[in-house]
Structure 1
Amino acid sequence: MSLMNCWESIRDKTENKEIDFEIFYLLLSEFQKINSYQKKRNVEKIIKKYCLVNELLWFDLFVNNQIFKIEYRYECNDVSCSEKISEAKCDLCGEKVNEHDEFEIFVRLTKNIEEYLKEYNRNLLFSNINKKYLPTLKDIKKNLSDVVFFIGAGVSIPLGFPNWVNLLKNWRKDWLKNRIKKNSKSILIMVMFLK
């Protein structure tokens, strides 16, 4: 099974069959970032952010298709407890779990879905990367704690930031205007170079 199979299974169970794969993928990616159990109402808010249809429908589809794993949490006699089945009996008092006052539903992605997302993301990444860079990427992954990323080559200008030359020219103007006193020769050399 794959992420695409999960999406098709859910799409086929809805009336209009218009659940977009991109929205499905983004929604699951959002839950993957959280990587822990969340209260049901918080999960419904996230679903609502991505979906125009009823978030309860999506929630039920995700539970019924084993995309979400549910944990029922409650308090009994000032003790925090959890259970996988809401109809189960409490070990402390014998009442049903869902009959306790402090009863809440918590949700997270199942391990299978997390694995499908990892596989899909890996395939997506490698389909867009030149194979000659794979050894470098593996080395970066191995030494990730020592890596500093520099983003450039067309990222800054579309976002409204100056390119390097304009950045340094602006910096030079500010430096000369405010007469910032620095002892760094490299700063002085850059400022003089851009005159």
Structure 2
Amino acid sequence: MSLEILIDTVKNETEESEEKIQSSILNLIEKFGTNHFNDDDIQVNVSNLEILLCEKLHEAGLLNIVFQYHCHENAGDEETKNLSDKCSYCMKILHDGARDHEINRVYNFSRGHYDKIVSYISMKDEQKYFMPELQRNFENLKKDIDTIIPFLGAGVSIPLGLPNWENLLKNFYEYFPKEHLKEVYRDFIDEGDFFGALDYLMDKSQYISNEDQLKEEIIRIMATANYNLEDEKHNFFDFVELKSDYYITTNYDLAMERYLTLAGDYNSPICMDEIGSLRNMSTTGNSIIHLHGHINRKSAMIVTNRDYNKLYTKKGTMMQLSAILGTRPLLFLGFSFKDKFFVKMYEKLISILKTDHYIVLFNPELSEIKELNMKNVKVIGLNVTDGNHAKAIKTLINFLNQNN
């Protein structure tokens, strides 16, 4: 029985969705891998659907089952594949002599069956999420994976409860004393001039009047991140699996550092004023460059137009960043070219980015894909109709790491 037929059979018997059944199969192999597990493990760790799947997987020849038994008469231990066999010690038929034996059913996935199941589910997920008309971009990204530098935007931290740039600024509406001031502030945001909006905030607000006060407000918001989120609801461990020697981010939060630490790969975050010498950069990899600073170095946080323009026009800084990046492609995650702020930043960076780059976008339109291709940015388009953006990115990163 093929996996496809097995899933259809279980779907008809249980009325569960194909996605739920695939998820349950994946759950089983993630829980147990190729390790042995028994009925006690199943009772504690496995749902009713997964119990049924164990039965069906065994019938399909994809899950091995043996019976380990202890003979009370002769105090011997042995195993068999069939309870119709005789005990090797007392010679009684095992299913007839249950009182004379302690019998335990033991399961395991062979490495070949494990790989077959993972490969099948990966293929189904890729069919679901990958835009087939962009398959060439997916394949080229996979070829480039060893040289890719992930570039993380605010979107990757949204699952942690943190706002993107637009929503971060909207937090400060209440700090304006007059409605007409809010309207001007809103216009800055709509134009993607986020640092212009922050300058205006400090000029007109009766609560935030200088950079230090603004940075404290941003730090307070970043401190609300929910790091107790289940792994399947965010992608930071997936980014760790990219195993890049550098990560770049415009985010103030330290989420990537946190998850690298949990994975045992932590290195200190680096601000732009700290890359003056490549000796400051880690030789062991996993360095995270915060272009706009981070919450643990308030003095390095860029929150004004003046500092923003200074950063991207300072020749020495750009040359240093160019020396790090070389001709390596970037993989933009958590950004959108519909975001005017990001477009402006990319245009400032393009002078040192001398190769093609990639951006992950959800449900991109053809016109957007063509426009980005003109800018030497190849779109990795993910079709997401179920709202599960995290799973779509997991599917992508699993694809990139296959045979790598």
Q: Same fold per TM (> 0.5)?
A: yes
301, 304, 311: which one aligns with 1:194: 301
Distance 1:3 1:151 in 2: 37
* 1:87 CA drift (Å): 2.0
Structure 1 residue 151: Cα displacement: 8.2
**1:25 Cα offset (Å):** 0.8
- Contact 1:27/1:47 (<8 A) preserved: no
1:87-166 equivalences under 5 Å are 87-98=84-95, 99=98, 100-109=100-109, 115-125=116-126, 128=130, 130-131=134-135, 132-138=137-143, 140=145, 152-153=152-153, 154-161=155-162, 162=222, 164-166=250-252
Aligned residue number for residue 178 of structure 1: none
CA spacing shift, 1:3–1:26, aligned 2, 3 Å:
same
Mapped partners of 2:148, 2:141: distance in 1: 14
Question: Structure 2: which amino acid aligns with 1:128?
Answer: F
Superposition deviation, residue 30 in structure 1: 1.4
TM-score scaled to structure 1, two decimals?
0.61
Shift in Å, 1:105: 0.6
CA offsets 1:149-175 (integer angstroms, 9 cap, x no match) = 96843221331253954437xxxxxxx
Matched, 1:83 2:80: yes
CA distance 1:124–1:150, shift in 2 (3 Å): same
Asked if the contact 2:42/2:51 (under 8 Å) is kept, the reply is no
For residue 106 of structure 2, what is the amino acid of its counterpart? F
8 Å contact kept, 1:89–1:97:
yes
The equivalent residue for 1:40 is 39
What is the Cα deviation at residue 31 of structure 1? 1.8
Name the CA distance, whole Å, in 2 between partners of 1:93 and 1:151: 67
SS of corresponding position for 2:91 = coil
SS of equivalent residue, structure 1 residue 134: helix
Partner of 2:28: 31
Aligned to 2:67: 72
CA contact (8 A) 1:3 1:120 kept: no
RMSD: 4.1
Task: Answer whether contact 1:73 1:103 (CA < 8 A) is retained.
Answer: yes
Q: In the alignment, is the contact (CA less than 8 A) between 1:44 and 1:59 conserved in 2? A: no
Q: Is the 8 A contact 2:70 2:102 kept in 1?
A: yes
Structure of greater Rg: 2
Aligned partners of 2:39 and 2:105 also within 8 Å: yes
Q: CA deviation at 1:121?
A: 0.8
Between the two proteins, the alignment pairs up a number of residues equal to 168
- The one-letter code of the counterpart of 1:159 is L
Unaligned stretches of 5+ residues in structure 1: 169-183
Shift of 1:136: 3.8
Q: Among residues 19, 22, 31, which one is paired with 1:22 in the alignment?
A: 19
| In structure 2, C-alpha distance between the alignment counterparts of 1:6 and 1:155, rounded to whole Å | 36
1:27 positional shift: 1.3
2:152–2:250 CA contact under 8 A, matched in 1: no
State the alpha-carbon separation in 2 of the partners of residues 75 and 62 from structure 1.
27
For residues 130 and 2 of structure 2, the distance between their equivalents in structure 1, rounded to whole angstroms, comes to 20
Whole-angstrom CA distance in 1 between matches of 2:61 and 2:148: 39
Match in the other structure for 1:174: none
Correspondence 1:167 to 2:162? no
**Letter of the 2:101 counterpart:** D
Please tell me the residue identity of whatever aligns with 1:42. Answer: D
Deviation digits for residues 56-99 of structure 1 (CA, Å, limit 9, x no counterpart): 65554454454533111123455542211122112233233453
C-alpha distance in structure 2 between counterparts of 1:160 and 1:63, whole Å: 42
8 A Cα contact 1:74 1:103, kept in partner: yes
Distance 1:45 1:118 in 2: 27
Q: For the residues of structure 1 that align with 2:149 and 2:120, how far apart are their CA atoms?
A: 24
Are the equivalent residues in 2 in contact too, given 1:72–1:85 (CA < 8 A)? yes
Q: Percent identity?
A: 17
CA distance in 1, matches of 2:75, 2:274: 64
